[in-house]
Amino acid sequence: MAKSTQQEAMEKAVKGNSLGRDAMRRLAANKAAIASIAVLGLVVLMVIVGPWLTPNNYYSQDYDAIWQAPTLAHGHIFGTDSVGRDLFVRTMVGGRISLMVGIVTAFVSLLIGVAYGATAGFIGGRIDGFMMRTVDILYALPFMFLVILMVVFFGQSLFLMFLAIGAVSWLDMARIVRGQTLTIKQQPYVEAARMAGASGTAIIVRHIVPNLLGLIVVYVTLTIPQVILFESFLSFLGLGVQEPMTSWGALINDGVGEMGRAPWLLVIPSIFLAVTLFCFNFIGDGLRDALDPNDR
Amino acid sequence: MLLDVQNLKIDFETHAGRVDAVHDLSFSIDRGEAVGIVGESGSGKSQSVLALMGLLAGNARVSGSAKLASAQAGEPSIELVGAKPRVLRRVRGARIAMIFQDPMTALNPHLKISTQMIELLRTHRGMGRREAMKAAIEMMEAVRIPEAARRIKYYPHQFSGGMRQRVMIAMALSCEPELLIADEPTTALDVTVQDEILDVIAELRERTNTALLLITHDLGVVAGQCSRALVMRAGDLVEHGSIDKVFNAPEAEYTRDLLAAIPRLEG
Amino acid sequence: MLAYTIKRLLGAIPTLFILLTLSFILVHAAPGSPFSMAREMPPEVKANLEAKYHLDEPIYEQYGRYLLNIAHFDFGPSYQYKDTTVNDLIAEGFPVSLTIGGFALLLALVLGVPLGMLAAVRQNRITDYLCSAIALGGISMPSFVIAPLLILWAAVYNDWLPAGGVDSWQSYILPVITLAAMFTAYILRIMRASTIEVLRSNFVRTARAKGLSTARVYGVHILPAAILPVVSYLGPAAAAILTGSVVIEEIFGMPGIGRFFVNGALNRDYTLVLGITLFYGLIVIAFNLVVDLIYGWLDPRVTY
Ligand SMILES: Nc1ncnc2c1ncn2[C@@H]1O[C@H](COP(=O)(O)OP(=O)(O)OP(=O)(O)O)[C@@H](O)[C@H]1O
Ligand SMILES: [Mg+2]
C-alpha cells in the first residue's frame, strides 16, 4: 500500500510510455532541467579532468601548507586539510568515486530489477506469487542496518558496496516492471509473437523491455542520486571508502571534525554533493513531467 | 427571462496552443422553462454550462455575457461571466444547481451522504444541523430513495449508480434553485433507470417551478422533456428553436443528420 | 478489524524470522570474534569469556538459544558494555531516538502538508516553483550536510543553541530540524501531487458547484482525500527516520539507539547489533500496521 515518491514517479512514467520526440521537446522546454543537465555535465567534466590539471595528488601531504584556506596563491584553490592534502584534487577524486558508485550501482539494480520483475510477470501464476511475496518480505527488512552489518563484518570494499546497495535498490524496479509486464503480456502483438513460437526471453527482450524504456530512464536518473546519497552516508559513518582514497561523504565526515577551524573542508564537498544530487533529481523530475505532461 | 447568454466564447490555453471550445453562443431561458442542448461529443456543451457556473479549468478564458435575473423584482441582474468568487458562491447551489454525468465520481467518497447534503442547506439556507438533517431526509424521500433516514448515513460507495444520481438530484434541488443544469444525467446509467431519473427530475421541477437546462446526446429525451432545443457542433450553435421546429423543420444540415440517426420505434 | 490486526501480526512473523536469521548468519559468518580486538587477552580469559556468552557452543545451539530468548523479548547481555543487557541499552536509547524522530515527523507534517497543498493550488506559478525547488533542495541535501552547517551557524558562529548532547530541550532543536528537512520535502511533494489529482476529481467540482466556502471545499472535501498518500508514506517514513537517526545521533552526540548501533557494529557487539536490528524491524512492522489501520479509518472504502 505504501508508495515512495520514486515509485509514484515511475508509475507516472509508465503511463507516459515511450520516450518519444514529443517528450524530448517538452524536456527541452523545461529550463530547470536543461540547466541541471548543463551543471551536471560541468561537474562530471571537472571530476574527470580536474585531477590531471593540477600538480597535486589526492594522497600527498604538504606540511608547509596545512589548514590552508582556499586561495589562488599556493596552488590550492580549495585549500588543504589537516595534513596538507589538496582539497581540490581530493574533491575531484572523491567525486569520481561517488559518481561511479552511483552509476554502476544504479545499473546493477536496474538489471536485477528488470530481469526479476519481467520474469515474474511473464511466467505468472504461482511462481510470480512466490517471487513477489519474497520482494514484500525483503521490503520489510531494515536494509540499511543489514548493509551496515555487512560492511562492518566483511570489511570495507568498493565491490561490497556496489553489491550491498545494488541489493537494496532493485525492489521498486522489480515491482513496477512486473506490473507493466503483466499488462504488456496481454497485448495482441505479444500474443502473436508467442503464437509464432518466440521464446520467453526473446519476447521479454524484444517486446517488453523496449516498452519500458521511458520508465527505465526516469528510474535510473532518480536512483543514481539515491545511491550516491547512500554511499556518502556509509562513508560519512566511516564505513565506506578508506583513507587515503576518499569520496564526497568521507570528505564531509573529515570536514565535520574540523569545521570550527577549517569550514571550507566541510562546505566545499557539501556543495559538490548537494549540487550533484539536486541536478539528478531535477533531471529525473523533468523527465517524468516530459513523459507525463498532464501533471505539470 | 431568467438567464440570458450572449456571445459566449471559451478557449483553452494548452501545451499544443489555443483550443477554441465554444465560439459564439447566445440563448436564453425563462423561469420554469426546459431547454435541451444536444450535439456530438466535444462540441462544447459541458464547457458552456460550466462557464455559467464559473467552474471552468484554470487554463480557460471566457468572454461574452451571461446575465442571471435578480431574485427580487427591480434589482439589477447578475453578470456571471467574470463574476467575483463571492458572488458566484451565492449563486451556485442556491440559485443555479448542477448535476453531472457520472454519479459514481460526483459525490465525495470520503464523506457521508448526510454530510454532503446538510452542508448545502446550512450554507445557503442558514439551517441548523437538525433542521437540515430533516430537510435532507425529506429530499431523499422525494427522489424515492427507500429508508432514507437510515441510508442518509451511508457513504456513496454503498449506493448503486442510479441511487447516487438520485442523491445528486436531491442535493441539487434541496435549496429550490431557479435553474437546474443537468449534464447528461442519465448517460452513465442503465436504460431502465434512465426514465425513472428523468421522471423524478420532472416531478420535482414542477413543484418548485425550476427551469431546466438539459444536456444530452439523446434527441428523444429532449423531445420528451424540453420545449426548446439548441444543437451544437464543434463549438458553434447550429440550430435553435422550439422542439416542433427543430424536429419537423430543421434548418441545419447537421440537425437533419442527427434526426436521421435516431432509431425510430414509434414509426 | 481485530481479525485483520491479528492476521497482519501473524503475517509479520516470517519477515521477523528471516530478518533474525539473516542478521544472525551475517554476524556469525563474519571473520573475527567480539573479543579478538583486545589482543593482549590471555587465552584462558578469552575462553572464559566465550563460555560466559556461550560462544563456545555449536552455532545451531547459539541460534536456538537466541531464538528462544527473543521469544521472551530478551536480547541478551551486551558484549561491549560490561554488565549491561541489550534491553537496558535499548531502553536507554530509544526514548532519545523516539523524541527526535517523533518531533521531526510532526514538524514535517505541519510544514509539508499545507505547503504541498499551497503548491498544488498555485500550480505552475511562482509559489509552486518555489515550494517545489525547496522540496528538491530538502531531498538533495543529506542530513549530514544540513546538520554540520546548522551547527556551524547556530552553535559555533552564533551562540544560540547547543551543538549536541541531551542536556536540555534546546539540544533537541537542531537534530529535529535536520531530520525533519528531508521528510518535509517528501511530504510536500506527495501532498502536492495528490492535491493536484484530487483537485481534478469530479467530487471537488461538485463541491464547488454547491457554492461552499473555499475553506470548506479545501478543509472538508479536499484535505481528507489528498492526505491519504501522505498517510501511506508514514510507514516507510518511520523506517527512514530510524535510519536517519543513526547519522543525527552521531553528529549531535546523542545517546540514541542509532548511535549504539554504529558503535556496536564497529566493536563487533553481536548481541547489541542483532537486538537493535530486530527491535527496529519490530518497530517498523508495528508502525506500518498502525498506519494501515489509520488509513482504513480515514478511507471509508477500505474494509478489512
Ligand atoms: N481544460 C481543457 N483544456 C483544453 N481543452 C479543453 C479543456 N476542457 C475541455 N476542452 C475541450 O473543449 C471542447 C469541448 O468540450 P466539452 O466538454 O464541452 O464537450 P461536450 O460537448 O460536453 O462533449 P461530451 O458529450 O463528450 O461530454 C473539447 O474539444 C475539449 O477537448
Ligand atoms: Mg460533456
Q: Domains in chain C, start-ordered, CATH in brackets?
A: 92-271 (1.10.3720.10)
Q: Please list, in sequence order, all residues whose beta carbon lies within 8 angstroms of the beta carbon of residue C117, skipping any fewer than 6 positions away.
A: C191, C192, C195, C218, C222, C223, C226
What is the DSSP annotation of A174-233? Answer: HHHHHHHHHHHHTSHHHHHHHHTT--HHHHIIIIIHHHTHHHHHHHHHHHHHHHHHHHHH
Ligand of minimum distance to the alpha carbon of B41: 1
CA of B44 from ligand 1 middle (Å) equals 6
Confidence band of A16 (pLDDT split at 50, 70, 90) = very low
Which residues, listed in sequence order, are joined to residue B212 by a DSSP beta bridge?
B34, B180
Number of other residues whose CB lies within 10 A of the CB of residue C184: 26
Residue B241 domain boundaries: 33-55+84-260
Confidence band of B267 (pLDDT split at 50, 70, 90) = very low
Spell out which residues of chain B touch residue C206, defining contact as CB-CB under 8 Å. 100, 106-108, 168
Distance CA A235, CA A273 (A): 13
Write the CA distances from C146 to A220, B12, B214, C133, C151, integer angstroms.
Answer: 25, 44, 60, 16, 9
Distance CA B196, CA C269 (A): 75
Pocket lining: B233 vs ligand 1, CB cutoff 6 Å: no
Tell if the CB–CB gap between C284 and A270 is shorter than 8 Å: no
Residue C85's identity, in one-letter code, is T
Distance CA C112, CA B34 (A): 48
Q: HEC states along C188-228?
A: HHHHHHHHHHHHCCHHHHHHHHCCCCHHHHHHHHHHHHHCH
HSE-CB of B56 using CA atoms within 13 angstroms: 26
CA distance to partner chain B, nearest, from residue C219 (Å): 12
Give the relative orientation of helices A87-123 and A125-140 as an angle to the nearest 10 degrees.
150
C-alpha cell of residue B128: 441548523
Q: What is the DSSP letter of C172?
A: G
The closest of A54, A268, A224, A234 to A156, measured between CA atoms, is A234
Q: pLDDT over 90 for what percent of chain C? A: 26
- pLDDT, residue C153, reads 87
Task: Give the domain CATH number at A200.
Answer: 1.10.3720.10
Q: What angle do CA C202, C204, C205 make, to 5 degrees?
A: 65
Grid look-up 429550490 returns B176
Which residues, listed in sequence order, are joined to residue B12 by a DSSP beta bridge?
B19, B60
Contact in structure between A230 and A146 (CB atoms under 8 Å): no
The closest of A181, A206, A214 to A15, measured between CA atoms, is A214
Distance CA B248, CA C195 (A): 50
- pLDDT, residue B187, reads 82
- pLDDT, residue C45, reads 74
Q: Please tell me which residue, C15 or A248, carries the higher pLDDT value.
A: A248
Distance CA A75, CA A39 (A): 24
Q: Please tell me which residue, C61 or B56, carries the higher pLDDT value.
A: B56
The enclosing H or E element of A8 equals helix A5-16
Pocket lining: B63 vs ligand 1, CB cutoff 6 Å: no
Which residues, listed in sequence order, are joined to residue B237 by a DSSP beta bridge?
B232
- pLDDT, residue C39, reads 54
The closest of B222, B220, B230, B224 to B250, measured between CA atoms, is B230
Q: Where are the beta strands (DSSP E) in chain A?
A: none
- pLDDT at B179 exceeding the cut of 90: yes
- Assess whether the previous peptide bond of A244 is cis (omega < 30° from 0): yes
Pocket lining: B202 vs ligand 1, CB cutoff 6 Å: no
What is the DSSP annotation of B66-107? Answer: EEEPPSSTTSPPEE-TT--HHHHHHHBTTTEEEE-S-HHHHS
Give the relative orientation of helices A87-123 and A264-291 as an angle to the nearest 10 degrees.
30
- What integer is the mean pLDDT of A142-159? 73
Distance CA B21, CA B44 (A): 6
CA distance to partner chain C, nearest, from residue A207 (Å): 31
Number of other residues whose CB lies within 10 A of the CB of residue A63: 7
The 10s digit of each residue's pLDDT in A110-139 is 888 888 988 888 888 899 888 888 887 777
**Is B242 in a helix, a strand, or coil?**
strand
Q: Please list, in sequence order, all residues whose beta carbon lies within 8 angstroms of the beta carbon of residue A284, skipping any fewer than 6 positions away.
A: A9, A218, A221, A222, A225
- pLDDT at A1 exceeding the cut of 60: no
Please, what is the average pLDDT of chain A? 79
The closest of B104, A149, B118 to C275, measured between CA atoms, is A149
The 10s digit of each residue's pLDDT in C164-196 is 777 788 889 999 999 999 899 999 999 998 999
Q: Please tell me which residue, A293 or C115, carries the higher pLDDT value.
A: C115
Number of other residues whose CB lies within 10 A of the CB of residue B23: 16
Spell out which residues of chain C touch residue B102, defining contact as CB-CB under 8 Å. 202
- CB-nearest to B105 from C201, C211, C299 is C201
Q: Please tell me which residue, B233 or A12, carries the higher pLDDT value.
A: B233
Write the CA distances from A213 to A19, A206, A207, A247, C41, integer angstroms.
Answer: 7, 12, 11, 31, 59
Distance CA B261, CA C14 (A): 64
C-alpha cell of residue C50: 566465550
Please, what is the average pLDDT of chain B? 89
What pTM, to 2 d.p., does this model score? 0.84
The closest of A237, B110, B91 to C297, measured between CA atoms, is B110
Distance CA A146, CA A55 (A): 41
Residue A279 domain boundaries: 30-56+75-295
Grid look-up 471552468 returns B56
- pLDDT at A17 exceeding the cut of 50: no
User: Does residue C198 sit at the A interface (CB-CB below 8 Å)?
Assistant: no
HSE-CB of A154 using CA atoms within 13 angstroms: 17
- pLDDT at B263 exceeding the cut of 80: no
C-alpha cell of residue B134: 430533516
Tell if the CB–CB gap between C221 and B108 is shorter than 8 Å: yes
A160 domain residue, yes or no: yes
Q: Please tell me which residue, A54 or C49, carries the higher pLDDT value.
A: A54
A6 domain residue, yes or no: no
The 10s digit of each residue's pLDDT in C95-151 is 999 999 999 999 999 999 999 999 998 888 898 889 888 888 888 888 888 988 888
A3 domain residue, yes or no: no
Write the CA distances from B251 to A103, B231, B255, B256, C107, integer angstroms.
Answer: 68, 11, 7, 8, 66
What is the DSSP annotation of C247-268? Answer: HHHHHHT--SHHHHHHHHHHTT
Q: C231-263 burial string, b = 16+ CB within 10 Å, else e? A: bbbbbbbbbbbbbbbbbbbbbbebbbbbbbbbb
- What integer is the mean pLDDT of B228-244? 90
What are the φ and ψ backbone dihedral angles of C187, each rounded to 5 degrees?
-65, -40
Q: How many domains does chain A have?
A: 1
Q: pLDDT over 90 for what percent of chain A? A: 9
- pLDDT, residue A296, reads 41
C-alpha cell of residue C35: 573479543
- CB-nearest to B110 from C123, C211, C224 is C224
Spell out which residues of chain C touch residue B52, defining contact as CB-CB under 8 Å. none
Indicate the pairing of strand B60-68 with strand B96-99. Answer: unpaired
Ligand 1 atom nearest residue B44's Cα:
18
Confidence band of A2 (pLDDT split at 50, 70, 90) = very low
Cα A280 versus chain centre, distance: 9
Tell if the CB–CB gap between B107 and C203 is shorter than 8 Å: yes
Residue C263's identity, in one-letter code, is N
Task: Give the domain CATH number at B209.
Answer: 3.40.50.300
B112 domain residue, yes or no: yes
H helices then E strands: how many in chain B?
11, 10
User: Does residue C106 sit at the B interface (CB-CB below 8 Å)?
Assistant: no
B154 domain residue, yes or no: yes
Q: HEC states along C32-97?
A: CCCCCCCCCCCHHHHHHHHHHCCCCCCHHHHHHHHHHHHHCCCCCECCCCCCCEHHHHHHHHHHHH
- pLDDT at B111 exceeding the cut of 60: yes
Cα C263 versus chain centre, distance: 18
Confidence band of A8 (pLDDT split at 50, 70, 90) = low
- pLDDT at A5 exceeding the cut of 60: no
